[in-house]
Amino acid sequence: METGIGIAEGATSVLPDRGIGRSAIFSAAFSLAPVFGVLLWLTHRSDAWPVVVLAEIVVTAVCAVVFIRFKLVHASVHDGVFVKQGLFGRTRVDRSRIFDLVLTRVYRNNSSEFLTRLLAVDRTGRRLFRLDGIYWPTVGLEELAEALDVDVTIEEETLTRGEYFAVHPTARYWYEKPVVVALAVMAAIVLLIAAVEAVQGLVTV
Architecture of domain 74-172: Roll (2.30)
Cα torsion at 91, 95, 98, 99 (round to 10°)?
A: 170
Going by their DSSP bridges, the two strands 81-85 and 90-94 should be labelled as antiparallel
Report whether 173 contacts 165 (CB < 8 A): no
Task: Using pLDDT thresholds of 50, 70 and 90, give the confidence band for residue 146.
Answer: very high
Residues recorded for the chain: 205
- Give residue-wise pLDDT tens across range 77-123: 999 999 999 888 899 999 999 999 999 999 988 888 999 999 999 99
Instruction: Using the predicted structure, report yes or no on whether residue 1 has a pLDDT greater than 60.
Output: no
pLDDT computed for residue 100 by the predictor: 95
Q: Where are the domains of the chain?
A: 17-72, 74-172, 173-205
pTM of the full predicted structure?
0.78
Q: What is the mean pLDDT of residues 132-156?
A: 93
Report whether 91 contacts 120 (CB < 8 A): no
Residues above pLDDT 70, as percent of the chain: 90
Instruction: Using the predicted structure, report yes or no on whether residue 141 has a pLDDT greater than 60.
Output: yes
- Give residue-wise pLDDT tens across range 3-44: 555 565 668 899 998 777 778 777 877 787 888 888 788 777
Higher-pLDDT residue of 145 and 52 is 145
Which DSSP string corresponds to 25-62? HHHHHHHHHHHHHHHHHHHTTSTTHHHHHHHHHHHHHH
Burial of 164 (0-12, 13-18, 19+ CB in 10 A): buried
Instruction: Using the predicted structure, report yes or no on whether residue 53 has a pLDDT greater than 70.
Output: yes
The CA-atom distances, in angstroms, between 198 and each of 28, 43, 181, 202 are 21, 12, 25, 6
Task: Using pLDDT thresholds of 50, 70 and 90, give the confidence band for residue 63.
Answer: confident
